[in-house]
């Protein structure tokens, strides 16, 4: 019997390629924008406005502690958003995470400071920061699944780099907005110093601006439909009533490996953003000295480095599709370990300020290049460790538990090591090398995931009841 024209026609993908790329990219761009806005403010204004302890190092550590507190909330967000994402689908979960992050970020821009309500200001900042972390705990994994579950065969790592690309793009947008506000305000003491207007209200603008970006992101995400991979798992009765219990019972080894595979990436990520900003802009004659760059000068140097972050994030995808995720990441992690041992080569002040600037810029370019090369393949590798019915939960928990071990501790540990070494960054570099060793062990114990078949790797079980 001849097929009807309708049945003979090729089936269009549930989500066109442009929609998949845009939805996975724009959401993580907004989420990372919100996160970077806080990271920048944590160095630039929060120690003064929310933690005026009378000691610069203590104020900075207090600010970083609240910054790190969000990482503790991320695994909670991973469990809750992962639960709903694995039971009821990816789309609604992604909309929820984006709204949560956007509202929390906007409200930070409305907060009174210590000078208005005392330490209540710091408490409110902590609460909103926890909501930021909670939201990001569900955002990344969902975006990675939208990209990889809708990817053509043999291109999962390439598609998986698009949610990863949100990190460098979000960084550039966030810091560019800060720079525009910074330069637009009067600087009676020079453009390299904080002005009263910036401390009074200028720092709020980047937080309030996030509302515009969230509206755009919601418009794109509401157009998504569920991936065929998730729909197939639902039809075959593979969904689980309690995905977290299932992933712990059946995939505990991959949970642990995924957590430590991400560790060096996280430590490098936050050293290159938060710590370097603090170290680079700290006065050379301070009790714990830094390099003494002006804020605007150093942020521009960081943005130049982040351009390489974005380029190598994209380039890593096709390479990972060709040679495999594990092999590529082993070599990149070795590079991260060696890079950690070279901190004193690049980051010590030189007699010639121009030479100091050149070495620091080279450090930022090398570090962010390694960051892109290691961060890009994670968008495919972590989801590939888990079957469809627990993929959201498994990848989210691994990614976000690693954020506690890496991102939450990195700025605090690095600041303490910086102070312990009398202003030298060499102990901070050793810390990065140590994290790279742990990641190498995890990669060595793991298996290549390049050829995992999403169509058959759906997991088993009874359909979850509503």
pLDDT digits (tens, 9 = 90+) for 455-465: 777 776 444 43
| pLDDT for position 13 | 53
| pLDDT for position 227 | 66
Q: Mean pLDDT, to the nearest integer, of 263-275?
A: 90
Residue 356 has pLDDT above 80, yes or no: yes
Q: How confident is the model at residue 165 (pLDDT cuts 50, 70, 90)?
A: very high
| pLDDT for position 381 | 95
Residue 273 has pLDDT above 90, yes or no: no
Average pLDDT of the residues of the chain: 84
For residues 258 and 461, the model is more confident at 258
Residue 192 has pLDDT above 70, yes or no: no
What is the rounded (10 degree) CA torsion for 7, 9, 15, 17?
160
What is the percent of the chain with per-residue pLDDT over 70, rounded to a whole number? 91
Residue 36 has pLDDT above 70, yes or no: yes
Q: Mean pLDDT, to the nearest integer, of 221-225?
A: 74
Residue 318 has pLDDT above 90, yes or no: yes
Residue 187 has pLDDT above 70, yes or no: no
Residue 222 has pLDDT above 50, yes or no: yes
Q: Mean pLDDT, to the nearest integer, of 45-57?
A: 80
| pLDDT for position 7 | 44
**Range scoring the smallest mean pLDDT among 266-280, 316-330, 430-444:** 266-280
Q: Mean pLDDT, to the nearest integer, of 307-322?
A: 95
Three-state secondary structure along the chain? CCCCHHHHCCCCCCCCHHHHHHHHHHHHHHHHHHHHHHHHHHHHCHHHHCCCCCCHHHHHHHHHHHHHHHHHHHHHHHHHHHHHHHHHCHHHHHHHHHHHHHHHHHHHCCCCCHHHHCCHHHHHHHHHHHHHHHHHHHHHHHHHHHHHHCCCCCCHHHHHHHHHHHHHHHHHHHHHHHHHHHHHCCCCCCCCCCCHHHHHHHCHHHHHHHHHHHHHHHHHHCCCCCCHHHHHHHHCCCCCCCHHHHHHHHHHHHHHHHHHHCHHHHHHHHHHHHHHHHHHHCCCCCCCCCCCCCHHHHHHHHHHHHHHHHHHHHHHHHHHHHHCHHHHHHHHHHHHHHHHCCHHHHHCCCCCHHHHHHHHHHHHHHHHHHHHHHHCCHHHHHHHCCCHHHHHHHHHHHHHHHHHHHHHCHHHHHHHHHHHCCCCCHHHHHHHHHHHHHHHHHHHHCCCCCCCCCCCCCCCCCCCCC
| pLDDT for position 4 | 46
pLDDT digits (tens, 9 = 90+) for 367-408: 999 999 999 999 999 999 999 888 889 999 999 889 888 877
Angle value at C-alpha 167, between 163 and 168, nearest 5 degrees:
120
Name the residue with tokens 């990816």.
Answer: 90
| pLDDT for position 194 | 60
Alpha-carbon distance of 335 to 314, in angstroms, equals 18
């Amino acid at each position: 019997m001849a097929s009807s024209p309708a049945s003979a026609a090729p089936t269009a993908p549930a989500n066109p390629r442009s929609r998949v790329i845009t939805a996975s990219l724009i959401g993580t761009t907004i989420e990372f924008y919100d996160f970077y806005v806080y990271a920048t403010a944590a160095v630039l204004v929060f120690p003064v406005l929310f933690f005026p302890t009378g000691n610069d190092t203590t104020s900075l550590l207090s600010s970083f502690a609240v910054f790190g507190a969000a990482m503790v909330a991320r695994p909670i967000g991973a469990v809750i958003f992962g639960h709903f994402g694995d039971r009821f689908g990816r789309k609604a979960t992604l909309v929820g995470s984006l709204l949560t992050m956007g509202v929390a970020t906007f409200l930070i821009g409305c907060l009174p400071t210590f000078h208005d309500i005392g330490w209540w200001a710091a408490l409110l900042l902590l609460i909103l920061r926890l909501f930021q972390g909670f939201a990001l705990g569900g955002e990344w994994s969902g975006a990675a699944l939208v990209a990889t579950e809708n990817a053509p065969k043999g291109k999962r790592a390439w598609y998986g780099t698009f949610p990863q690309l949100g990190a460098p793009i979000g960084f550039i947008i966030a810091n560019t907005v800060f720079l525009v506000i910074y330069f637009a305000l009067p600087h009676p003491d020079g453009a390299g110093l904080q002005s009263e207007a910036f401390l009074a209200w200028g720092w709020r603008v980047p937080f309030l601006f996030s509302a515009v970006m969230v509206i755009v992101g919601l418009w794109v995400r509401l157009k998504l439909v569920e991936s065929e991979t998730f729909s197939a798992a639902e039809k075959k009765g593979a969904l689980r009533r309690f995905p977290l219990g299932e992933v712990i019972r059946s995939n505990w080894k991959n949970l642990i490996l995924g957590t430590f595979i991400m560790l060096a990436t996280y430590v490098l990520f936050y050293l290159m953003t938060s710590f370097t900003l603090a170290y680079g802009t700290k006065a050379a004659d301070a009790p714990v000295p830094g390099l003494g760059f002006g804020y605007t000068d150093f942020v521009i140097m960081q943005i130049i480095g982040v351009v390489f972050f974005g380029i190598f994030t994209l380039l890593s995808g096709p390479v990972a599709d060709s040679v495999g995720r594990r092999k590529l990441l082993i070599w990149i992690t070795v590079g991260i370990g060696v890079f950690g041992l070279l901190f004193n080569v690049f980051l010590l002040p030189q007699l010639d300020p121009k030479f100091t600037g050149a070495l620091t810029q080279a450090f930022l370019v090398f570090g962010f290049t390694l960051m892109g090369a290691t961060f890009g393949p994670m968008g495919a590798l972590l989801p590939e460790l888990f079957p469809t019915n627990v993929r959201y939960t498994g990848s989210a928990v691994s990614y976000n538990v690693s954020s506690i071990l890496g991102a939450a501790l990195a700025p605090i540990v690095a600041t303490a090591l910086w102070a312990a070494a009398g202003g030298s960054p060499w102990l901070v570099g050793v810390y990065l090398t140590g994290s790279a060793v742990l990641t190498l062990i995890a990669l060595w114990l793991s298996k290549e995931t390049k050829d995992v078949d999403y169509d058959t790797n759906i997991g088993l079980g009874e359909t979850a009841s509503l």
